[in-house]
Protein backbone atom coordinates (compact mmCIF):
# COMPACT_ATOMS: atom_id res chain seq x y z
CA UNK A 1 0.00 0.00 0.00
CA UNK A 2 1.21 3.48 -0.86
CA UNK A 3 0.10 6.53 1.15
CA UNK A 4 0.52 10.16 0.07
CA UNK A 5 0.65 12.65 2.94
CA UNK A 6 -0.25 15.95 1.32
CA UNK A 7 2.02 18.97 1.62
CA UNK A 8 -0.02 20.89 -0.96
CA UNK A 9 -2.35 22.96 1.26
CA UNK A 10 -0.17 24.01 4.21
CA UNK A 11 -0.94 20.87 6.21
CA UNK A 12 0.81 19.62 9.33
CA UNK A 13 3.73 17.81 7.71
CA UNK A 14 4.70 14.19 8.06
CA UNK A 15 8.37 15.23 8.05
CA UNK A 16 7.86 17.19 11.27
CA UNK A 17 9.50 14.53 13.40
CA UNK A 18 8.43 16.12 16.69
CA UNK A 19 4.83 15.22 15.90
CA UNK A 20 4.82 12.36 13.43
CA UNK A 21 8.08 10.37 13.65
CA UNK A 22 6.22 7.58 15.44
CA UNK A 23 3.55 7.32 12.77
CA UNK A 24 6.12 7.23 9.98
CA UNK A 25 8.20 4.55 11.70
CA UNK A 26 5.27 2.33 12.63
CA UNK A 27 3.72 2.40 9.17
CA UNK A 28 7.06 1.67 7.51
CA UNK A 29 7.55 -1.27 9.90
CA UNK A 30 4.26 -2.66 8.57
CA UNK A 31 5.35 -2.21 4.95
CA UNK A 32 2.95 0.66 4.40
CA UNK A 33 4.86 3.05 2.15
CA UNK A 34 4.10 6.63 3.21
CA UNK A 35 5.56 9.71 1.53
CA UNK A 36 5.10 13.45 1.89
CA UNK A 37 3.95 14.81 -1.49
CA UNK A 38 3.97 18.50 -2.43
CA UNK A 39 2.56 18.16 -5.96
CA UNK A 40 -1.25 17.98 -6.01
CA UNK A 41 -1.54 15.95 -9.22
CA UNK A 42 0.95 13.38 -7.97
CA UNK A 43 -1.16 12.67 -4.88
CA UNK A 44 -3.50 10.60 -7.01
CA UNK A 45 -0.77 8.14 -7.93
CA UNK A 46 -1.14 6.69 -4.41
CA UNK A 47 -3.73 4.34 -2.89
CA UNK A 48 -4.44 6.56 0.13
CA UNK A 49 -4.28 10.36 0.33
CA UNK A 50 -4.11 12.25 3.64
CA UNK A 51 -4.97 15.93 4.05
CA UNK A 52 -3.95 16.49 7.68
CA UNK A 53 -5.19 19.94 8.77
CA UNK A 54 -5.21 21.71 5.37
CA UNK A 55 -5.02 25.47 5.95
CA UNK A 56 -5.28 26.61 2.32
CA UNK A 57 -8.59 26.31 0.42
CA UNK A 58 -9.10 23.90 -2.46
CA UNK A 59 -9.73 25.25 -5.95
CA UNK A 60 -12.65 24.08 -8.07
CA UNK A 61 -10.27 22.03 -10.19
CA UNK A 62 -8.79 20.36 -7.12
CA UNK A 63 -12.23 19.53 -5.75
CA UNK A 64 -13.12 17.89 -9.06
CA UNK A 65 -9.97 15.75 -8.96
CA UNK A 66 -10.82 14.64 -5.43
CA UNK A 67 -14.36 13.78 -6.53
CA UNK A 68 -13.05 11.71 -9.45
CA UNK A 69 -10.57 9.94 -7.18
CA UNK A 70 -13.36 8.89 -4.81
CA UNK A 71 -16.16 8.16 -7.25
CA UNK A 72 -14.25 6.71 -10.19
CA UNK A 73 -10.74 5.66 -9.16
CA UNK A 74 -11.42 3.91 -5.84
CA UNK A 75 -9.05 6.01 -3.74
CA UNK A 76 -9.20 6.33 0.04
CA UNK A 77 -8.96 9.98 1.08
CA UNK A 78 -8.62 11.09 4.71
CA UNK A 79 -9.34 14.62 5.94
CA UNK A 80 -8.53 15.73 9.49
CA UNK A 81 -9.54 18.92 11.30
CA UNK A 82 -9.39 20.40 14.81
CA UNK A 83 -11.80 21.80 17.37
CA UNK A 84 -13.57 25.15 17.03
CA UNK A 85 -12.69 25.61 13.34
CA UNK A 86 -9.14 26.71 14.20
CA UNK A 87 -7.44 28.42 11.23
CA UNK A 88 -10.66 27.90 9.27
CA UNK A 89 -9.62 24.29 8.61
CA UNK A 90 -13.01 22.74 9.35
CA UNK A 91 -14.68 24.88 6.71
CA UNK A 92 -11.90 24.17 4.22
CA UNK A 93 -12.53 20.45 4.73
CA UNK A 94 -16.30 20.98 4.63
CA UNK A 95 -16.01 22.52 1.17
CA UNK A 96 -15.45 18.93 0.03
CA UNK A 97 -16.91 16.67 2.72
CA UNK A 98 -20.28 18.40 3.08
CA UNK A 99 -21.32 17.24 -0.38
CA UNK A 100 -21.00 13.67 0.89
CA UNK A 101 -23.06 14.11 4.05
CA UNK A 102 -20.27 14.83 6.55
CA UNK A 103 -20.11 18.25 8.20
CA UNK A 104 -17.41 19.32 10.69
CA UNK A 105 -18.95 21.66 13.26
CA UNK A 106 -17.08 24.73 14.65
CA UNK A 107 -17.20 23.42 18.22
CA UNK A 108 -15.18 21.52 20.78
CA UNK A 109 -15.93 18.44 22.88
CA UNK A 110 -15.31 17.91 26.60
CA UNK A 111 -15.65 14.81 28.76
CA UNK A 112 -15.40 15.39 32.50
CA UNK A 113 -15.19 11.67 33.28
CA UNK A 114 -13.06 10.21 30.50
CA UNK A 115 -9.98 12.26 29.60
CA UNK A 116 -6.20 12.31 29.98
CA UNK A 117 -3.62 14.74 31.40
CA UNK A 118 -6.29 16.60 33.44
CA UNK A 119 -7.46 18.15 30.17
CA UNK A 120 -11.16 17.79 29.43
CA UNK A 121 -10.53 18.17 25.68
CA UNK A 122 -8.19 15.14 25.53
CA UNK A 123 -11.11 12.74 25.54
CA UNK A 124 -11.02 8.96 25.45
CA UNK A 125 -13.72 6.73 24.01
CA UNK A 126 -14.60 3.07 23.58
CA UNK A 127 -17.37 3.79 21.06
CA UNK A 128 -15.41 2.34 18.14
CA UNK A 129 -17.80 1.34 15.34
CA UNK A 130 -15.44 0.57 12.44
CA UNK A 131 -11.73 -0.29 12.14
CA UNK A 132 -12.10 -1.90 15.55
CA UNK A 133 -10.17 -5.15 15.12
CA UNK A 134 -7.95 -5.32 18.21
CA UNK A 135 -9.20 -1.91 19.38
CA UNK A 136 -11.07 -1.30 22.63
CA UNK A 137 -10.39 2.33 23.49
CA UNK A 138 -8.69 5.33 21.88
CA UNK A 139 -7.70 8.85 22.83
CA UNK A 140 -9.03 11.56 20.53
CA UNK A 141 -7.71 15.00 21.54
CA UNK A 142 -9.20 18.38 20.70
CA UNK A 143 -11.78 17.07 18.27
CA UNK A 144 -14.58 18.87 16.52
CA UNK A 145 -17.96 17.10 16.43
CA UNK A 146 -19.31 15.86 13.10
CA UNK A 147 -22.83 15.81 11.69
CA UNK A 148 -23.54 12.80 9.49
CA UNK A 149 -26.27 12.17 6.89
CA UNK A 150 -26.84 10.88 3.33
CA UNK A 151 -25.62 7.35 4.00
CA UNK A 152 -22.32 8.26 5.64
CA UNK A 153 -21.19 5.81 8.33
CA UNK A 154 -20.03 6.44 11.87
CA UNK A 155 -16.50 5.20 12.54
CA UNK A 156 -15.94 6.64 16.02
CA UNK A 157 -18.18 8.31 18.58
CA UNK A 158 -17.49 10.05 21.88
CA UNK A 159 -18.84 8.52 25.06
CA UNK A 160 -22.25 9.40 26.46
CA UNK A 161 -20.47 11.42 29.16
CA UNK A 162 -19.11 13.85 26.56
CA UNK A 163 -20.65 17.17 25.59
CA UNK A 164 -20.19 19.50 22.64
CA UNK A 165 -20.09 23.26 23.11
CA UNK A 166 -23.76 23.37 22.14
CA UNK A 167 -24.68 20.71 24.70
CA UNK A 168 -25.04 17.60 22.53
CA UNK A 169 -23.98 14.27 24.01
CA UNK A 170 -21.88 11.55 22.39
CA UNK A 171 -21.03 13.34 19.13
CA UNK A 172 -19.53 11.65 16.09
CA UNK A 173 -15.72 11.96 15.93
CA UNK A 174 -14.94 10.14 12.67
CA UNK A 175 -17.25 9.34 9.77
CA UNK A 176 -16.79 7.79 6.36
CA UNK A 177 -18.56 7.60 3.03
CA UNK A 178 -18.21 4.58 0.72
CA UNK A 179 -18.37 4.71 -3.06
CA UNK A 180 -19.25 2.06 -5.64
CA UNK A 181 -15.75 2.44 -7.07
CA UNK A 182 -14.35 1.09 -3.80
CA UNK A 183 -13.29 4.57 -2.76
CA UNK A 184 -13.71 5.85 0.79
CA UNK A 185 -13.82 9.34 2.24
CA UNK A 186 -12.81 9.36 5.93
CA UNK A 187 -13.33 12.57 7.91
CA UNK A 188 -11.76 13.01 11.36
CA UNK A 189 -12.63 15.75 13.83
CA UNK A 190 -9.09 15.62 15.26
CA UNK A 191 -5.76 15.90 13.47
CA UNK A 192 -3.61 14.80 16.41
CA UNK A 193 -4.97 11.36 17.32
CA UNK A 194 -1.98 9.90 15.43
CA UNK A 195 0.77 12.26 16.61
CA UNK A 196 3.55 11.21 18.97
CA UNK A 197 1.48 12.17 22.03
CA UNK A 198 -1.53 10.02 21.11
CA UNK A 199 -0.28 7.22 18.87
CA UNK A 200 1.17 5.02 21.62
CA UNK A 201 -1.63 5.54 24.13
CA UNK A 202 -4.52 3.11 24.56
CA UNK A 203 -5.22 1.40 21.21
CA UNK A 204 -4.56 4.33 18.89
CA UNK A 205 -1.77 2.65 16.96
CA UNK A 206 -3.86 -0.39 16.05
CA UNK A 207 -6.82 1.85 15.19
CA UNK A 208 -4.69 3.98 12.85
CA UNK A 209 -3.17 0.91 11.18
CA UNK A 210 -6.67 -0.51 10.68
CA UNK A 211 -7.79 2.72 9.02
CA UNK A 212 -4.95 2.58 6.53
CA UNK A 213 -5.18 -1.16 5.87
CA UNK A 214 -9.00 -1.25 5.81
CA UNK A 215 -9.40 -3.82 8.62
CA UNK A 216 -12.92 -2.98 9.76
pLDDT band, very low/low/confident/very high, at 216 (cuts 50, 70, 90): confident
What is the DSSP code (8-state) at residue 155? E
- Per-residue pLDDT of 8-17, as tens digits, reads 999 999 999 9
Q: Please give the C-alpha separations between residue 182 and each of 49, 64, 65, in angstroms, as whole numbers.
A: 14, 18, 16
**pLDDT, position 150:** 85
Instruction: Report how far residue 140's alpha carbon sits from residue 136's, in angstroms, rounded to the nearest whole number.
Output: 13
Distance CA 205, CA 26 (A): 8
Round to whole Å and give the CA distance between 126 and 120.
16
CA distance 63 to 89: 15
Tens-digit pLDDT profile for residues 88-124: 999 999 999 999 999 999 999 999 999 999 999 999 9
Name residues whose C-beta falls within 8 Å of residue 68's C-beta, 6 or more positions apart in sequence.
none
Predicted local confidence at residue 79, as pLDDT: 99
Q: In this model, does residue 6 exceed pLDDT 90?
A: yes
Cα(120)–Cα(54) distance, rounded to whole angstroms?
A: 25
Whole-structure pTM value: 0.98
Please compute the mean of the pLDDT values over residues 38-67 and round it to a whole number: 99
Identify the CA nearest to 65 among candidates 49, 89, 86, 84.
49
Q: What domains can be seen in the chain, in order of their start residue?
A: 2-213 (3.40.50.880)
Amino acid sequence: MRVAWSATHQEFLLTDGYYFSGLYKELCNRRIEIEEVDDFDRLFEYDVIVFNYPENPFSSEEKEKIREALEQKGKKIIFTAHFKNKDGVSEICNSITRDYGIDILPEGIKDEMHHLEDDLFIITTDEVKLYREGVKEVVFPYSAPLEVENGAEIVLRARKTSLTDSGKKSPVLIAQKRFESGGKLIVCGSCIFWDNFSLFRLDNLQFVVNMFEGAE
